[in-house]
């Protein structure tokens, strides 16, 4: 009964997901494998001309209690759990007339699907709790040295390929399949726990599942350890799906900053080429352009100093002209959906260390609905911050021009990705093309975000642009002209009118705020007195 090498003689097939099971069983039959099956799986196989031994013929016991009892029997589990190298096990199996089972093919109906259907009650949900399936998977996975356990139809091809080439299933594959089976049952049990905890105990339970842990060089700082884990089966625009084309392995901070850059770019859509430049988890540069090169240059002008050692993300193919702009400029990482071959070669030659990531799905819609943040001893879960404004209400005598609304929406998107208390200044540097001229981030004092950071930084950036473009006017006049056409967005409402007063000192005339302060009327009165257009959006965008 012990076959030495791992030759599959008998296989038990009982699956919920029947994709590919008929074809797989056909191939097993060609190898002379005896197929044991149950219920619906057995019927489908027989209807397709495959000889099947019903489980009840093995156990000499009928299915009973509406199918609750089928495979839970020593004749089945003895054949799965028997250790082939253990002579006592083999002898006991012979005495009990238990025949060995070398392969178990089982997958479980997704419990989440059941309980997510309209009108499903507790009794119905409980009937979908599989007992025999998980037990079979765990038995086979426990004895993976002797039993191949397949819980995913995607693995049928791998197993058949090995059997065709060598007649056996390799140890490496059996180990992989065993771990996959335990994960399958763990996720299944987790779904049941989450549902029943709510239904029976009125407790909210969350169980997160992340795999493929990859050790990083260090964490936020040199003395900290760090690992990156991937969410299984994640699709779409995620750093977990990027392909690294060049450079050193990503660091902890690279992941954090690149995710900020990715989310920031995605908020702008893909109607125009867009670029986000992120440093220390804040966008220090953000722009759209008629070309990618225009967008990168404008984003760089948002803070040329902070752009040193930054993360760059764009929503369109990275071309050679854009790559050449980075000559002599140190950046940590570039993320794009694609690269022109010449641009990729240029970036590779620029530095051995620059990390180049490709994410073809970058512009796809994200299916992630929640964000999570771990704090010591606890986990916070919240829905994603989606949208820019709930309303667009100009509350002042000075109207907000309709043609400035796209610039205003761009400004809010920049503010959403900037740490609170945040203020961003946005400028239409070219018709239909926008740039974040400056921002103030992470200040406990919201007023400092305007007067000490965003406004003063804007003047510094304009000084650089002024000297490069040499406009036919003095610098103060140039500043006044640009700032008077900027839009300022705040992630917070204004509890006092001081923010409006300081904005006016720098000739900022268009302001966006959530509104909602008990002193809104005072703020509006001050804006009217200063000739400022103030829009309330009724949507706050704090980011901590």
The answer to whether 331 touches 248, Cβ cutoff 8 Å, is: no
pLDDT of 118: 84
Report, as residue numbers or ranges, the catalytic residues: 142, 280
The answer to whether 542 touches 492, Cβ cutoff 8 Å, is: yes
What span, in angstroms and rounded, lies between the C-alpha atoms of 315 and 354? 19
The structure's pTM equals 0.86
Q: What fold does the segment set 10-201 form as a domain?
A: Rossmann fold (3.40.50)
pLDDT of 358: 98
Could you please report the per-residue DSSP string of 9-36? Answer: -EEEEEESS-TTHHHHHHHHHHTT-EEE
Task: Give strand pairing partners of 35.
Answer: 11
Q: Does domain 390-536 have CATH number 3.40.140.20?
A: yes
Instruction: Please tell me the total number of residues recorded for the chain in this structure.
Output: 544
Neighbours of 130 (CB within 10 A): 21
The answer to whether 237 touches 363, Cβ cutoff 8 Å, is: yes
Query: Which pLDDT tens digits describe the chain residue by residue (544 residues)?
Result: 333 445 789 999 999 889 999 999 999 999 999 999 888 899 999 999 999 888 888 777 666 666 666 666 778 888 898 888 888 988 888 888 889 999 999 998 888 888 888 888 898 888 888 888 899 999 999 999 999 999 999 999 999 999 998 888 999 999 999 999 999 999 999 999 999 999 999 999 998 889 889 999 999 999 999 999 998 888 899 999 999 999 999 999 999 999 999 999 999 999 999 999 999 999 999 999 999 999 999 999 999 999 999 999 999 999 999 999 999 999 999 999 999 999 999 999 999 999 999 999 999 998 888 999 999 999 999 999 999 999 999 999 999 999 999 999 999 999 999 999 999 999 999 999 999 999 999 888 888 999 899 999 999 999 999 999 988 899 999 999 999 999 999 999 999 999 999 999 999 999 999 999 999 999 999 999 999 999 999 999 999 9
pLDDT of 75: 80
The DSSP output letter for 485 is T
What span, in angstroms and rounded, lies between the C-alpha atoms of 21 and 38? 13
pLDDT of 61: 66
pLDDT of 154: 94
pLDDT of 83: 87
Domain span(s) for CATH 3.40.140.20 in the chain? 233-358, 390-536
Domain span(s) for CATH 3.40.50.1380 in the chain? 10-201
CATH of domain 233-358: 3.40.140.20
- Helix segments in 143-204, DSSP class H: 156-166, 171-201
Neighbours of 53 (CB within 10 A): 14
Q: How far apart, in Å, are the Cα atoms of 43 and each of 46, 48, 49, 109?
A: 5, 9, 10, 18
């Amino acid at each position: 009964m012990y076959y030495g090498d791992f030759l599959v003689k008998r296989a038990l097939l009982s699956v919920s997901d029947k994709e590919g099971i008929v074809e797989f069983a056909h191939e097993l039959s060609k190898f002379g494998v005896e197929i044991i099956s149950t219920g619906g799986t057995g019927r489908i196989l027989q209807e397709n001309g495959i000889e099947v031994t019903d489980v009840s013929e093995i156990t000499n016991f009928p299915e009973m209690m509406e199918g609750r009892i089928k495979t839970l029997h020593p004749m089945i589990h003895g054949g799965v759990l028997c250790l082939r190298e253990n002579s006592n096990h083999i002898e006991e199996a012979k005495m009990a007339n238990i025949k060995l089972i070398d392969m178990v093919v089982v997958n479980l109906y997704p419990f989440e699907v059941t309980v997510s259907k309209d009108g499903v009650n507790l009794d119905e949900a409980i009937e979908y709790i599989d007992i025999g399936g998980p037990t079979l998977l765990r038995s086979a996975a426990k004895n993976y040295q002797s039993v191949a356990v397949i819980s995913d139809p995607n693995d049928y091809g791998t197993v058949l390929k090995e059997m065709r080439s060598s007649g056996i299933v390799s140890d490496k594959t059996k180990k992989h399949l065993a771990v996959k089976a335990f994960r399958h049952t763990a996720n299944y049990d987790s779904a049941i726990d989450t549902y029943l905890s709510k239904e029976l105990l009125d407790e909210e339970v969350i169980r997160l599942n992340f795999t493929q842990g990859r050790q990083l060089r260090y964490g936020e700082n040199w003395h900290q350890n760090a690992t990156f884990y991937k969410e299984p089966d994640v699709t779409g625009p995620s750093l977990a799906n990027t392909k690294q084309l060049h450079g050193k392995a990503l660091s902890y901070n690279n992941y954090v900053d690149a995710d900020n850059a990715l989310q920031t770019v995605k908020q702008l859509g893909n109607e125009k080429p867009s670029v986000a430049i992120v440093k220390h988890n804040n966008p220090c540069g953000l722009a759209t352009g008629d070309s990618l090169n225009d967008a990168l240059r404008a984003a760089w002008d948002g803070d040329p100093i902070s752009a040193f050692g930054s993360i760059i993300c764009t929503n369109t193919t990275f071309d050679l002209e854009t790559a050449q702009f980075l000559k002599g400029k140190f950046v940590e990482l570039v993320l794009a959906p694609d690269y022109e071959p010449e641009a990729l070669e240029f970036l590779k030659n620029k530095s051995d260390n620059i990390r180049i990531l490709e994410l073809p799905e970058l512009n796809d819609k994200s299916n992630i609905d929640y964000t999570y943040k771990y704090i010591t001893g606890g986990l916070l879960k919240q829905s994603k911050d989606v949208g820019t404004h709930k309303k667009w209400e100009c509350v002042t005598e000075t109207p907000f021009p309709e043609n400035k609304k796209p610039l205003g929406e761009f400004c809010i998107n920049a503010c959403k990705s900037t740490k609170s208390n945040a203020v961003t200044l946005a400028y239409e540097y070219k018709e239909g093309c926008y740039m974040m001229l400056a921002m103030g981030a992470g200040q406990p004092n919201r007023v400092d975000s305007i007067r000490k950071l965003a406004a003063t930084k804007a003047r510094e950036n304009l000084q650089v642009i002024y000297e490069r473009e040499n406009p036919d006017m003095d610098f103060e006049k140039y500043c006044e002209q640009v700032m008077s056409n900027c839009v300022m967005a705040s992630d917070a409402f204004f509890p006092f009118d001081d923010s409006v007063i300081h904005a006016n000192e720098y000739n900022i005339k268009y302001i966006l705020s959530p509104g909602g302060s008990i002193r809104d009327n005072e703020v509006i009165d001050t804006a009217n007195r200063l000739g400022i257009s103030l829009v309330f959006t009724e949507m706050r965008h704090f980011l901590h």
